Structure 1
Amino acid sequence: MHHLTVCLVEPSRAQGQIIQHHLQELGISYIDHVETGATALERIHEQPRPDIVISAMYLADMTGAELVMAMRQDERVREMPFVLVSSETRPQQLDAIRQAGAMAILPKPFTPQQLDKAIGSAIDYLNVDETRGDLEELDLDTKRLLLVDDSSVSRHFMRTVLERFGFCDIVEAENGREAISLMGYGQHFDLIVTDYNMPEMDGRDFIEYVRTTSHLTSVPILMVSGEQDKQRLAAVEDAGVSAICDKPFDLSTLRHLISQFL
Structure 2
Amino acid sequence: MPETLPTTDVTASDAALLTETADAVRVAGSALRERFGEVVRHRSREDLMRALAANDDTALGILRPRLTGLRPEAGWVEDELVGGALPPGEWWVVDPAEGNVNHLHALPEWAVTATLVRDNQPVLTAVHLPMTGETCTALTGAGAHLDGRPLHVSPTADLGLAIVATSQARPDEDEQVVRRVGSSITAMLFGALVVRTSVPATLHLLNVAAGRIDAFWQYAGARADLLPGALLVTEAGGRISDAEGRPWTPQSVSFLATAPGVHAEAVATLSR
Q: TM-score, normalised by structure 2?
A: 0.26
Q: Which has the larger radius of gyration?
A: 1
Q: TM-score, normalised by structure 1?
A: 0.26
Report the structure, 1 or 2, having the larger strand content.
2
- Higher RCO (Cα < 8 Å, 6 or more apart): 2
